[in-house]
Amino acid sequence: MHIVCPHCTTSYAIKLATLGDAGRNVRCSRCKEVWLARPEDAVEEAALAAPVMAAASQSAGSDSVADEWERMAQQEAEETPVVDSPSISAEMPSQDEDWPSVASEDAQAHAPAAAKRRFRMPRLPRIRFLPQVGALPATCAAMAALIIALVVWRNDVVRLLPQTALFYKTVGLDVNLRGLAFRDIKVTHETVDGKPVLVIEGMIVGQTRKAVELPRLRFSVRDDHGAEIYAWNAVLEQTVLKPGEQAMFKSRLASPPPEGRNIDVRFFNKRDIAGGHA
């Protein structure tokens, strides 16, 4: 069944059950006219077609009724919205409220397609995960220079950051904070007055560009298990080693322990003082 707007004659498909027995106030979505739609005012689709065909025959003149009806039907489909079930208010709304309007069938049919045509995915910004090709050689060169500096000046690094000494030891690099090193250490045996004498001699070289104070030397005899059996200290005649100089040392131990297997030579340090070794 259809109801027709009394102002603009726009027809709307509707179910009679929605009107009720007394009818309901509805509003035309085309001309905004408000009227009371009653069940007895509803007409069938065939009854609506007759006036349209009559008007088409009068305006067309010599044209055929079928062609005029097809033209009118196309115009009606384009201009006249038709829905299966319009929104109807049970009571007259106030001026401040919105009227329920009858939606267009063509609008509803094409609305999803139009929405699909308008919807576009937002363009995401491009993120560069890799550096530029030109910057890669410069980055590699900077990393190589940093590694070389950490190796060459490792003594200064450990002096500033003592906790890095373990890292250098792990990778097999020696760290010499004193700037002194032993060279050409020799251990020989002599006999003096029928007693064996152990002779340890060698050379101390500087590894810095400034004068370095020479500390005392500490010698120790160790057994097969590495345990210290006997130790003694020696003071060098030369107290300061200038750049480019070398200092010779030589020490003797009479009647060395028979269980001794190895000789350690090192500089006297703070741990020896804490341990009570003068």
**200 assigned to some structural domain:** yes
Do both 83 and 162 map to the same domain? no
Rounded mean pLDDT, 62-67: 53
| pLDDT over 50 (residue 98) | no
Same domain, 19 and 110: yes
Is the pLDDT reported for residue 215 higher than 60? Answer: yes
The pLDDT-based confidence of 83 (bands split at 50, 70, 90) is very low
3-state secondary structure of 144: helix
Q: Which residue did the predictor score with more confidence, 6 or 79?
A: 6
Task: Tell me if 189 is assigned to some domain.
Answer: yes
- Domain-located, residue 79: yes
108 and 167 both lie in a single domain: no
Provide DSSP, 53-77.
HHHHHHHHTTS-HHHHHHHHHHHHH
Q: What is the DSSP letter of 142?
A: H
Q: Does the residue 213 lie in any domain?
A: yes
Q: Is the pLDDT confidence value at 260 over 70?
A: yes
Q: Locate tokens 């297997």: which residue?
A: 261
Average pLDDT estimate for 76-99: 45
pLDDT tier at 247, thresholds 50, 70, 90:
very high
- Mean pLDDT, residues 113-125 taken together: 57
Do 184 and 173 have their domain in common? Answer: no
DSSP-assigned letter for residue 126? P
Q: Which of 156, 177, 198 is the last residue of a domain?
A: 177
Domain count, the chain: 3
Domain boundary among 157, 177, 197: 177
**Average pLDDT along the chain:** 74
Range of the domain at 67: 2-91+98-118
- Whether 171 and 85 share a structural domain: no
**Is 10 a member of any domain?**
yes
* Residues 166 and 246 reside in one and the same domain: no
Q: Are residues 185 and 251 located together in one domain of the fold?
A: yes
Clarify whether residues 241 and 165 are in a common domain. no
Identify whether residues 185 and 158 lie together within a single domain.
no
Does residue 16 belong to any structural domain of this protein?
A: yes
Shared domain check, 6 and 84: yes
pLDDT bracket for residue 233 (50, 70, 90): very high
Q: Which of 137, 158, 177 is the last residue of a domain?
A: 177
Query: In this model, does residue 161 exceed pLDDT 80?
Result: yes
Helices (H), the chain: 45-60, 65-79, 105-118, 135-152, 154-160, 165-170, 270-274
Domain check: are 172 and 243 in the same one?
A: no
pLDDT surpasses 80 at 133: no
227 pLDDT band (50/70/90 cuts)? very high
- Give the CATH number, domain containing residue 253: 2.60.40.10
DSSP output for 235-269 = --S--EE-TT-EEEEEEEEES--TT--EEEEEE--
In a domain, 51, yes or no: yes
Question: What does 95-106 look like in DSSP terms, one character per residue?
Answer: TTSPPPBPPPHH
Q: Is the pLDDT of residue 122 over 70?
A: no
In a domain, 137, yes or no: no
Categorize the per-residue pLDDT at 171 as very low, low, confident or very high, splitting at 50, 70 and 90.
confident
Residues 105 and 156 in one domain: no
Q: What percent of the chain has pLDDT over 70?
A: 65
Residue 150 is predicted with a pLDDT of: 84
